[in-house]
Structures are given as C-alpha cells and as structure tokens.
C-alpha cells in the first residue's frame, strides 16, 4: 500500500515530533489538536527543532520548506483523506478509544491507524473501531527527531499487510523498527526499562542516593545519553506513571507498580519540564536548574 497523506492526532511532545519527521521526510502532514493554543505551542517547538536540524545539516531543504508541509488544524474531519493516522494523545484508554471511534467514521476504509501508546495494549484500543485488522502500534521514543527506534506492534487481529505498511512508513522516516509480535502492555523496551526506573525512584525514597547522582551514574557507567530522572522529566512524570500503572494492571506484577514518591509528585502536578518542576527544576525556557526539593 502506498502512503501519501498522513494525519497526526496530538500536537504535544510526541505528536509534534512525529509530524516533524514526516515533514522532514517529504510528506505533507496534517497535525491536529483540540485547542489552537496547543497547536501554536507545538508548531513553535517544531520550528525550533527543524531550525536546529537544518543548521546542523541533518535534513534536506530549508526550514521554511519543511514547515510548509505541516498543516495545523483543530478539525478532526481533516483526517477524511488520510492514508495513515498516527495517534499521540494522552496515555488513557478511554480517550484513545473515543478518538479512534470518531476517526473510524471519518477515515476511508483503507486508512491504517497507528497508536503511539507506550503501555496500553494495541488490541484494547483497536476494539473501539471496525478496522481491527488495520490497527497497529507505532511506538516512537522521545525526542522523536533524534531517537531512531520505533516499536511496530501487531495486535491480535492486525493483518500482516498493515504491519508491513507501518514498518515501511516508519523506515521512510529514517527510523529503525523493532517488530513486536505479541501485543502486551508495555511492549518490549518499556517492559525492560520500567523496573530500572522504579528501582531508581525507590533508591531515592530510601535515601540511598540522589536524583542527580543516579542520573550521572547511569550516564557515565552505562553510556546512556540521559539518566532515568532526566528522561522522565522530558517525557512527563504523568506519562510514565500512567504507563507503569497500565502494565501493572494487566500483569499484577508488583515490580511495575508506581512508587509512592512518583505518585505524590504526579498529584502535586510536578510533571517535569512541561510544568517547570519534576525531578529537577527548570526555567521558563526549559533549561535545567538543579534537582527539585
């Protein structure tokens, strides 16, 4: 199947990143969110990122040429001629099902739906539609323009043709794909990463070490570009919390249960860079100031 028209639902960190790599790869992409202010903020972030990529010679064309391929909208009906839909909204089953149920009535029969869900099983989301055979997981990693991996997840009813089309599309965006042949909560990489992140939080809770020392140790000792707390702040503590909880609710394995310290931070609204405080504090430009108290 040839994919020409792409629709991205969600103009936040992940959705904006997906729209950016689509535009950088030559696709015209419609980027939709509920509110114009969210769209404007997302477009500003994309424009800054595209400018940096052009400046460093990592993409072809000018920043203006790339940005002109992104068509912002608040109208879901603009998905009416899409060949592929990337969804990147809040990690909440009800919200995702509601969106896809509506898209199912708008999009042509051939349209393939891809969810960026990091923890909710693809099949559960797909049941809100009448196209479970054309519903696939496309889990990107943040920041999308820099991270090469995409997990392509086959739901229990997903056709091989849909998996192949999603994989080929992601490769055309310059990504390396990881095929996931069984639909489980947390997919593959988060199933590996969550226990380590949870243990890091527990070590801080117990006073064994500090947030910044653990991050430094993971960078220097294991060659990671960012430590678990820096990564969590970038993605959003609420995103990580909801994803851990989704895996725990399916598996009932206590190693995935969100630690109390994380729960408290989420309830306080200390969600990371987007709120100015998470595991670290940030200035109004998103620059890290130091560990949060």
H, E, C per residue of 52-78? HHHHCCCCCCCHHHHHCCEEEECCHHH
Segment-wise mean pLDDT, segments of 10 residues, the chain, 293 residues: 93 96 97 95 96 93 96 97 96 95 98 95 96 98 93 97 97 97 92 96 97 97 94 93 92 96 97 96 91 87
Strands (E), the chain: 5-9, 28-32, 70-73, 84-87, 112-115, 135-140, 149-154, 176-180, 280-282, 288-291
Residues of the chain with CATH 3.40.50.720: 5-180
DSSP code string of 196-238 = HHHHHHHHHHTTSS-HHHHHHHHHHHH--SS-HHHHHHHH-HH
The pLDDT of residue 66: 97
What CA–CA distance (Å, rounded) separates 254 from 194?
11
| Cα angle, residue 67 at apex, residues 62 and 69 outer, rounded to 5° | 105
What CA–CA distance (Å, rounded) separates 26 from 53?
15
The pLDDT of residue 284: 87
The pLDDT of residue 9: 98
Strands (E), 91-148: 112-115, 135-140
Superfamily of domain 5-180: NAD(P)-binding Rossmann-like Domain (3.40.50.720)
Residues of the chain with CATH 1.10.1040.10: 189-279
DSSP label at residue 173? T
CATH of 189-279, one of 3.10.520.10, 1.20.1070.10, 1.10.1040.10, 3.20.20.70: 1.10.1040.10
| Cα angle, residue 93 at apex, residues 103 and 36 outer, rounded to 5° | 55
The pLDDT of residue 128: 98
Give which of 187, 260, 271, 262 is closest to 235, Cα–Cα: 271
The pLDDT of residue 286: 85
The pLDDT of residue 261: 97
Active-site residue list: 118, 139, 151, 190
DSSP label at residue 41? H
């Amino acid at each position: 199947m040839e994919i020409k028209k792409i629709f991205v639902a969600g103009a936040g960190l992940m959705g904006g990143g997906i729209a950016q790599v689509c535009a950088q790869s030559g696709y015209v992409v419609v980027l939709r969110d509920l509110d114009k202010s969210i769209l404007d903020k997302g477009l500003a972030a994309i424009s800054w990122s595209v400018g940096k990529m052009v400046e460093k010679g990592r993409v072809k064309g000018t920043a203006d040429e790339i940005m002109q391929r992104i068509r912002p909208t608040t109208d879901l009906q603009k998905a009416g001629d899409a060949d592929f839909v990337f969804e990147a909204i809040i990690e909440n089953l009800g919200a995702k099902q509601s969106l896809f149920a509506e898209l199912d009535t708008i999009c042509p029969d051939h349209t393939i739906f891809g969810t960026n869900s990091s923890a909710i099983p693809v099949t559960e989301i797909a049941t809100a539609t009448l196209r479970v055979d054309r519903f696939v997981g496309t889990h990107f990693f943040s920041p999308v323009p820099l991270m090469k991996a995409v997990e392509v997840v086959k739901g229990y009813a997903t056709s091989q043709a849909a998996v192949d089309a999603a994989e080929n599309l992601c490769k055309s965006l310059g990504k390396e794909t990881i095929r996931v042949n069984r639909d489980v909560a947390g997919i593959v990489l988060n199933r590996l990463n969550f226990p380590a992140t949870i243990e890091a939080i527990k070590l801080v809770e117990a006073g064994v070490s500090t947030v910044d020392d653990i991050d430094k140790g993971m960078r220097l000792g294991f060659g990671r570009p960012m430590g678990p707390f820096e990564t969590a702040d970038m993605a959003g503590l609420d995103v990580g919390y909801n994803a851990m909880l989704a895996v725990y609710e399916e598996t009932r394995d206590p190693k995935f249960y969100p630690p109390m310290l994380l729960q408290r931070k989420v309830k306080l609204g200390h969600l990371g860079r987007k709120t100015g405080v998470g595991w670290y504090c940030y200035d109004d430009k998103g620059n890290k100031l130091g560990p949060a108290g």
